[in-house]
Amino acid sequence: MSSLRLFRGGLRSTLGQTLRRSLSSLPSVRCNAIADAQRSQHVQRIDSLLKEGGILKISLGFEDDDSVYLKNLLLSLHRDHGHGLPITHSASRGWFWDVRPLEGAGDGTSDSVVTTARSETMNNFPWHTDCSYEISPPRYFGLQVLRADQCGGGTLSVLDANLLLSVLSPAIVESLCRHEFRITVPPEFIKYENQSEITGSVLRVDEAGAKVQLRFRQDIMHASTARGEAALKELQKALSSSRIRSQVLDLTPDTLPRGSIVLIDNRRWLHARNHVRDPNRHLRRVRWDAQPFNAM
């Protein structure tokens, strides 16, 4: 695992140079017309920013409640830059998914329905990557803000996985790379009757130790060995540490107001959400470019 040691050393240097990420570090692109989604220079810039940093914000200068711009942008990324098309959210939903609290789901007024997705409740949603239960999770996901939380909640927080891994020991990193974890498919996301769980690794690192992929959601991940269980505990401990908390980027409604779109590399950035306070909060989600987790 010498490559992992080299990888960790490089990340330690990065962490030492960047002790705090500021909101100004979030790349931002202005879009003035729906037609920009089909203009090569605009689409190329978005593709470059996603590949370089794995996260960016797009500010729309027009109303687009039907997400026409976002749909056309994804089609352009597919046609001109090799991105895979969006994936269906579940067996019953298509590319786009409206994320808003369902009445009575997780707000204390009634018992949440078993098949209610956690993001459709008003509860907090701890650190995770999307579709970690898929054999081929999406490389990217996007959120368009149709109505931000007006009551001080629902903040999206993001964390660079490289910074997280830099504080883990080589032994823990190696354990997370082993195919020793069972990942349960939440009932609301089961697409095939005979697939209620998958087996695989939490982490993938290339041979040079320079490229990393992470999938994580604590409540559905179970280690099949004592070594793997210890590694998951260390990962969760690191997420709760003050050193890592100082690296978290909180994207409040002031940062992501109505008309904002945030695009994120789902394997390079973890994300979380605190308690939703506004029952009318409304985002639109899309996920695309699904690839086997072991593909680099």
Does some domain include residue 296? no
In a domain, 264, yes or no: yes
Strands of 282-290's sheet, edge to edge? Answer: 28-31, 55-60, 260-265, 138-147, 282-290, 97-99
The pTM (predicted TM-score) of the whole model is: 0.87
Note whether residue 88 is domain-resident: yes
Residue 123 lies in a domain: yes
Q: What's residue 94's pLDDT?
A: 79
Mean pLDDT along residues 132-161: 96
CA-to-CA dists, residue 180 to 85, 217, 262, angstroms: 30, 15, 33
- Whose tokens are 């699904």? That residue is 290
pLDDT tens readout for residues 236-249 = 999 999 999 999 99
Does residue 294 fall inside a structural domain?
A: no
Output DSSP code: residue 29: E
Number of domains in the chain: 1
Q: Evaluate whether residue 176 is within a structural domain.
A: yes
295 located within any domain: no
Asked whether residue 293 is domain-assigned, the answer is: no
User: 70: domain CATH number?
Assistant: 3.60.130.10
Considering only 113-122, 140-149, 192-201, 230-239, which range has the smallest mean pLDDT?
113-122
Domain of residue 222 covers 2-288
Query: What are residue 156's DSSP bridge partners?
Result: 251, 273
Cβ neighbourhood burial of 177 (10 Å; 0-12, 13-18, 19+)? middle
- Residues 94, 290: Cα–Cα separation, whole Å: 15
- Write out pLDDT tens, residues 286-295: 999 999 998 7
Q: What does the mean pLDDT of the chain come to?
A: 86
**Which residues are CB-contacts of 107 (< 8 A; sequence separation ≥ 6)?**
101, 121, 122, 279
